[in-house]
Amino acid sequence: MADLTLATSAREAIPDLPVAHRADRTLLALDLGTTTGWALHGADGLITSGSVSFRPGRFDGGGMRYLRFTNWLAELDRLSGPIAAIWFEEVRRHAGTDAAHVYGGLMATLTSWAELRGVPYEGVPVGTIKRFATGKGNANKDAMIAAARVRGFSPADDNEADAIAILLWAIETNGGLA
């Protein structure tokens, strides 16, 4: 049997988080859209993130985007969960009608999925997230990506950077209660 190279207890490796965000809970943050950014604080204390496309295919019906989103949430819950809490970017103004419809459909799908499973969820205003990450409530996409990089992440796009910022905000402010 090989010797241990790292003999650190789990309590030392994973710092204590506020009670609402214990390290043994899975927390999910989402930036909802056709390309949805996500960040997950796993039960092991590690943070993973990415973005996933829910763009419908050429021959898809109108509801396929939302069915794929539901299946994606269920798979994430199965593989990384159970998900204990969800935060999402609460957008009150959209550049176009299509974006507003997609966001509304994804939000309805998310909230009904969470309600069925008893998972608490909360929307976080866009300005709150941008101010937390960059110090400016109207930061642009590049500033959000740069802010995530400063924190040690390598987001592929602004959707992932926003989700990382939402997750870090939720952890560091105890879901807005700190």
Q: List the chain domain ranges.
A: 27-173
Per-residue pLDDT 10s for the chain (178 aa) are 344 333 334 444 444 544 444 556 899 999 999 999 999 999 888 999 999 999 988 898 888 999 999 999 999 999 997 999 999 999 877 677 888 889 999 999 999 999 999 999 999 999 999 999 999 989 999 999 999 999 999 999 999 999 999 999 999 988 877 6
Q: Are 162 and 139 in contact (CB under 8 A)?
A: no
CB-based contact 109:54 (threshold 8 Å): no
- Second-level CATH architecture of 27-173: 2-Layer Sandwich (3.30)
**Closest listed residue to residue 122, CA positions, set 61, 65, 58, 177:** 177
Helix H segments across 49-138? 64-80, 97-117, 126-134
Measured over the CA atoms of residue 160, residue 41, residue 92 and residue 109, the dihedral's sign is: positive
pLDDT of residue 100: 86
